[in-house]
């Protein structure tokens, strides 16, 4: 899965990266402002092919690096695809 910078939202103070994998749409967000309370933390939002949403806020998770967040999301999608094929 490739991620690309989608947009810098000046109103919400977040950079948003977006990627897609086998029907799943992934957004990884991080604050770009140093005085923001979430600065340096990465959060994900996953939309499944059935339209369900999974988010770091709902799961009470945050990550210290983009790669850490990406690896978690990629692994979760692989797990869901494996469950679906069984």
Question: DSSP letter string over 49-80?
Answer: TTS-EEEHHHHT--BSSHHHHHHHHHHHHHHH
pLDDT tens, residue by residue, 60-77 = 899 999 999 999 999 999
Count of domains observed in the chain:
1
Q: What is the pTM of this model?
A: 0.83
Which of the four pLDDT bands, split at 50, 70 and 90, describes residue 9?
A: low
Buried b (16+ CB within 10 A) or exposed e, 58-86: eeeebbeeeeebbebbbebbeebeeeeee
Phi/psi class of residue 13: alpha, beta or left (left: φ > 0; alpha: ψ in -120 to 50)? left
Which residue in this structure is represented by tokens 């991080």?
30
Which of the four pLDDT bands, split at 50, 70 and 90, describes residue 86?
A: confident
Q: Which domain does 37 fall in, by range?
A: 4-85
């Amino acid at each position: 899965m490739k991620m690309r910078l989608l947009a810098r939202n000046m109103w919400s103070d977040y950079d948003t990266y977006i990627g897609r994998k086998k029907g799943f749409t992934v957004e990884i967000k991080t604050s770009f402002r140093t005085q923001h309370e979430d600065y340096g933390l990465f959060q994900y939002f996953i939309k499944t092919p059935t339209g369900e949403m999974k988010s770091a806020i709902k799961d009470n998770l945050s990550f210290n690096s983009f790669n850490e967040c990406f690896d978690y999301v990629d692994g979760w999608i692989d797990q869901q695809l494996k469950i679906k094929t069984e």
